[in-house]
Amino acid sequence: MVHNSNNSTRLPTQLLWGVFFIILMLLLAQTIYFFLNTRAQHQQQISSLRENLIQAQRSRLEAEMADAEHMIDHMFAEATDLLKQESYNQTRQALLLMNSLYQRYHKQLSEPEMKQLLVEALREIRFFDGRGYYFIDQMDGTAVLLPTSSELEGSSLLDNKDDTGHYIMRGLINAVSNPQRAGFSYYRWYSPDNDQLMKDKVAYVEVFEPYNWIVGTGDYLYRFENDLKPRIYNYIRNIRFGDTGYFALVRTDGLLLASGATPGREGINYLNGEDPQLRESAKRAVDSARNGGGFVSYDWYKPGATELSHKISLVRPLKNSEWILVAGIFQDELNVLMAEQEQKRDTEMRHVVLNQVIAFTIIGLLALLVALTFGRWIKIRFKRYQNDINRQQAMLRETADSLKLSGLIVDSAYEGIIVCDVDKRILQVNSAFTRITGYTQDEVLGDTPAMLSSGRHDEVFYQRMWQQIDSEGGWRGEIWNQRKNGEVFPEWISISAHKDSRGNVQNYIAIFYDITQRKELEQQLRSMAETDPLTGLANRRSLMDSLNRDLATMERHSTPGIALLFIDLDHFKLINDHFGHDVGDAVLIEVAGRLKRCLRETDLASRVGGDEFVSIIKLRPEEGLQQLEILCERLLEQLIKPVCFAETDIDISCSIGAAIHVQGNDAFGLMKSADQALYEAKRQGRGRVVFYHDELQTIASPSPVEAETP
């Protein structure tokens, strides 16, 4: 009996210690689960963030590449227009000479003598730097004058074809088979510097009426394109985006033609370089271009650095040329952002783990205290009550402990939790809810979650949300709510309906967390993609988006006109050479500030590269050319004021080209007009404003080097 009595006395204590141990194991398992789950979510968020940042960089490279390709194509198109204009002018001069000779001598000379005089008058004339000459053909295809192959004169050239199968003489005849009896012909012929290779050629021909002759001249397109290459090289050098974004132009054999990052290395062939790492990186880029282009990751030297840095580039072969265009950006910006985000996530992780450890310790101590106290009480009471009553009391206490444990676990969760009844009245919230919203539990009990509404969502949004919860049992998504202090913030929320066995809703449970930091990061990335990092003005991409949008709105709604101002600092290179690039950057920042102060809120100021600025001016209904001239003169007056730097006044000057949009003209046509007006301002002596007019169409825009030559 004594033995049984001792066993009965020890039984409650053993049972209590057993339950205590199980509770501790459950708490430990729950803590480990929360820790592992939080760490997994942390790693997933970091990986997702890195993928988003890399995708954002790739999208940015594609946008910059598209802008650069379009501008280069635009420049090459100018070469074709210039060649056609020059061929037209030269042919017209030849016809003037022939008509003059014919009017003077055709009555004095026989027809063969007259024809011979006209042919010999044109035979020795040369132009286009000595490579241009005149040719004369009959309508039946017989060559009358061909200075480069005089032995073919008098022969029929109707069957002469180029390497594409095009009949050259028949193309010339077709060009004059119209009411104007004049036109352009496009064909290919052997290049003077390589008699084995045909290249594109453009000729203008017109009929000499007295003898029905085809008279014309032309030149190779690549000759005029070569004249534009220095301008394209300088354009590539001046493109900047982000802190480390540059463009480079490479020939297909690996020769570096132009580079914004390392202009001093132009002329070096990296495929034959001594550095094996650079040689391998260059080979990967060139191979990618030969296969159609794409994204390439490799290691490269940053400007002024002695160690390699990781870089991602978009490689694209240019159409109809031996050039490869490379847009690259170093990963330092990405690494800095990732380091900041990882530090924030690590801090949050430590806070979560610390809260779990504190909760586990408190619950364990409470459980131990309860076990000791309850064990002593059980020993005293066990003698007076039957075993079944003692077991029932123990179960009641264990249930109470479990409820307290569940409450502590919910309260220690990092996400905010709201429990509502079937009428959507708040029954319970946890401490994370208070931390996120600023409301305590006593302030929200009995109220509805509508008290957090920010006003950004309409009634239809909430109706659809609750319809989905009632029909599907849950809803998750992004909502903008309002904190107690009035601050509006975004949150990701999951709402579920808890139902009984009969399918009736008993409670609604919402779990949410604040995503303000993620939204701020997204906004930061958008800002980096749309603004110039030095001046804070809109960049080229943002300028083109705004200009296309404004022109589309004007065409659709017949809104007031749009003007474009091209602003270029005169001799800015001298400031950089004399004072240094730091002072040059300070001058650019001051000019950007003056430009913003002079413009209205409806206008847009942007920096498109180097010392070039572009402004979009939206004219009001009552405004016209006179008001625009006043605005330009006021702007010029402000921009040419000296810039004070380190107690030194730096004199600056600028030229402005202005163009007003005309019906049917697109964004690049408007930009070309403003660019031609800017060139005219440079040509007239700089420091002035010139408005575009039709006569400027025949004036070719110079390269940037020519425009800045004193």
**Token code pair at residue 27:** 């708490």
- Residues forming a β-bridge with 615: 565, 605
Please tell me whether residue 226 adopts helix, strand or coil conformation: helix
Radius of gyration of the chain (CA): 40
Q: CB neighbours (10 Å) of residue 558?
A: 7
* Closest to 418 (Cα-Cα) out of 350, 489, 491, 347: 491
Inform me whether the pLDDT recorded for 578 exceeds 60: yes
403, burial (CB in 10 Å: exposed 0-12, middle 13-18, buried 19+)? exposed
Angle between helices 625-639 and 581-598 (to 10 degrees): 150
Q: Of residues 219, 611, 666, 675, which has the active-site annotation?
A: 611
pLDDT of residue 359: 72
Residue reference for tokens 């159409």: 319
> Please, is 672 exposed, middle or buried when counting C-beta atoms within 10 Å of its C-beta (0-12, 13-18, 19+)?
buried
Q: How far apart are CA 449 and CA 510, in angstroms?
A: 10
- What are the Cα distances from residue 167, in Å, to 141, 156, 159, 170, 551? 11, 12, 6, 6, 43
Residue recorded with tokens 């029929």:
156
Structural domain spans, the chain: 239-330, 418-514, 531-707
Give the residue-averaged pLDDT of 583-597.
93
> Pairing mode, if any, of strands 213-220 and 135-137?
antiparallel
| 116-147 per-position pLDDT tens digit | 999 999 999 998 878 789 999 999 999 999 99
* Separation of alpha carbons 328 and 281, rounded Å: 13
Q: Which segments of 291-331 does DSSP mark as H helices, in order?
A: none
Cα–Cα distance between 596 and 635 in angstroms, integer? 10
How many whole angstroms separate alpha carbon 176 and alpha carbon 349?
80
Tell me the pTM: 0.38
Residue whose tokens read 């301002």: 681
User: Is-catalytic flag, 140?
Assistant: no
Q: How far apart are CA 686 and CA 231, in angstroms?
A: 19
Amino acid occupying residue 566:
F
The pLDDT tens digits for 300-313 are 777 777 778 888 88
Contacts of 431 (CB under 8 A, 6+ apart): 411, 412
pLDDT (0 to 100) of residue 406: 54
- Asked if the domains 239-330 and 418-514 are classified in one and the same CATH topology, the answer is yes
First-last CA distance in the chain: 120
- Chosen CATH of 531-707 out of 3.30.300.210, 3.30.70.270, 3.90.1150.10, 3.90.226.10: 3.30.70.270
Predicted confidence at residue 421, as pLDDT, reads 92
Residues shown for the chain: 710
Annotate 485-525 with DSSP letters as a single string. TS-EEEEEEEEEEEE-TTS-EEEEEEEEEE-HHHHHHHHHH
Pairing relationship of beta strands 562-569 and 612-618 according to DSSP bridges: antiparallel
CATH number of 418-514: 3.30.450.20
Parallel/antiparallel/unpaired status of strands 562-569 and 654-660 = antiparallel
Average pLDDT over residues 541-568: 86
Read off the DSSP letter of residue 264: G
Contact 615, 607 (CB under 8 A): no
Candidate from 78-87, 300-309, 402-411 with smallest mean pLDDT = 402-411
DSSP 156: B
Alpha helices (H) along 307-458:
332-382, 387-411, 431-437, 441-444
Fold observed for domain 239-330: Beta-Lactamase (3.30.450)
Residue scoring higher pLDDT (597 or 408): 597
> Which pLDDT score, from 0 to 100, does residue 155 have?
93
Residue 184 CA to residue 169 CA, distance in Å, equals: 12
CB 508 within 8 A of CB 424: yes
In tens, the pLDDT along 347-405 reads 776 776 677 778 767 877 776 677 667 666 766 766 666 566 567 666 757 655 655 65
At residue 241, what is the residue type?
F
pLDDT per position as a tens digit, 486-518: 899 899 999 998 888 888 888 999 999 888 888
